[in-house]
Amino acid sequence: AQSVTQLDSHVSVSEGTPVLLRCNYSSSYSPSLFWYVQHPNKGLQLLLKYTSAATLVKGINGFEAEFKKSETSFHLTKPSAHMSDAAEYFCVVSDQDDMRFGAGTRLTVKP
């Protein structure tokens, strides 16, 4: 069985400050982990994925995530938020059995 928990339903930051979106997972296997972004009225778009290679994964638009097996975490970060980063973000865990989406974190960026 697997599960994924996004620890914050809503995160608000000021433009130019760091972003941290937290994700914890559980899986019986060595999972693949993904972050997707959903802008208003759009479908989900891949930000980055982890598939058991380097534990620090770089994605699009300056985002990155670090896989920490000991903490079962895959937190998403960005050094400096931009107004265009305002969106909903989903953490996804995938293994041999299944794929699960987190409940989502809505990121608000204040000017």
Partner 1 sequence: EAQVTQNPRYLITVTGKKLTVTCSQNMNHEYMSWYRQDPGLGLRQIYYSMTVEVTDKGDVPEGYKVSRKEKRNFPLILESPSPNQTSLYFCASSPNRDRFNIQYFGAGTRLSVL
Q: Are 81 and 15 in contact (CB under 8 A)?
A: yes
The reply on whether position 7 binds partner 1 by CB under 8 A is no
Cα separation, 21 vs 33, in Å, equals: 14
Nearest to 79 by CA among 63, 58, 90: 63
Q: Would you state the structure tokens that stand for residue 106, as one six-digit string?
A: 């809505």
The reply on whether position 74 binds partner 1 by CB under 8 A is no
Stretches 30-38, 59-67, 69-77, 79-87: which one binds partner 1 (CB under 8 A)?
A: 30-38
One residue of 3, 12, 28, 51 binding partner 1 per CB under 8 A: 51
Residues 6+ apart with CB under 8 A from 62: 78, 79, 80
The reply on whether position 99 binds partner 1 by CB under 8 A is yes
Stretches 15-23, 43-51, 54-62, 69-77: which one binds partner 1 (CB under 8 A)?
A: 43-51
Q: Is 83 helix (H, G, I), strand (E, B) or coil?
A: helix
The reply on whether position 90 binds partner 1 by CB under 8 A is yes
| Residues at the interface with partner 1 (CB under 8 A) | 6, 9, 31-32, 34, 36, 41-46, 49, 51, 90, 94-96, 99, 101-104
